[in-house]
A = this chain, B = another copy of it.
């Protein structure tokens, strides 16, 4: 049979989009096969444990992207205002200004949360910790820092839900502006 040079690295983003738009239970192998252009044979060659492994690896890749592009800068930046501006810009870019949904959030809400609970919890709590560190460095108490960082995370998630529900991405943009202002308000 044909050989169509499929790199695992090229596969994960495609899988991500399928899970994003159909959820874990809604993402059937037929859908995945069509989205990737790969038959079940290839799919199970790359992911012997099937759908669960695909989703776990997609989550891991997302986690890695945020670790590199968002969390790291939050932890080590010595300019909190800049770090937060960078985070906001990065988030806006990642979620395509509200057109794209958060897979981690989708899974958190679904029944598949049980399977991926530790990955989901880890993602959000590391983000929460990193952002709280930045806020502490900006001079806020530990309590205020943690409260504000949780507020920012939840604002992002809620903005994605509402923007999609109302089919209006302006909601997302406005929420990002508000969030940024609120994080560093005195």
Contacts and interface: CB of A to CB of B under 8 A. Distances in A.
B167 A121 contact: yes
Contact of A155 (B104, B158, B160): B158
Contacts of A139: none
Contact of A109 (B117, B150, B164, B175): B164
Q: Please give the count of copies of this chain that the complex contains.
A: 2
Nearest to A148: B178
A78 to B, nearest CB: 28
A157 B150 contact: no
A179 to B, nearest CB: 9
29 contacts: A22-B111, A23-B111, A25-B25, A26-B111, A106-B110, A108-B164, A108-B165, A109-B109, A109-B160, A110-B110, A113-B165, A120-B165, A121-B165, A124-B166, A128-B166, A150-B171, A151-B174, A153-B162, A154-B158, A154-B159, A154-B161, A154-B175, A155-B155, A155-B158, A156-B158, A157-B157, A157-B162, A158-B158, A161-B161
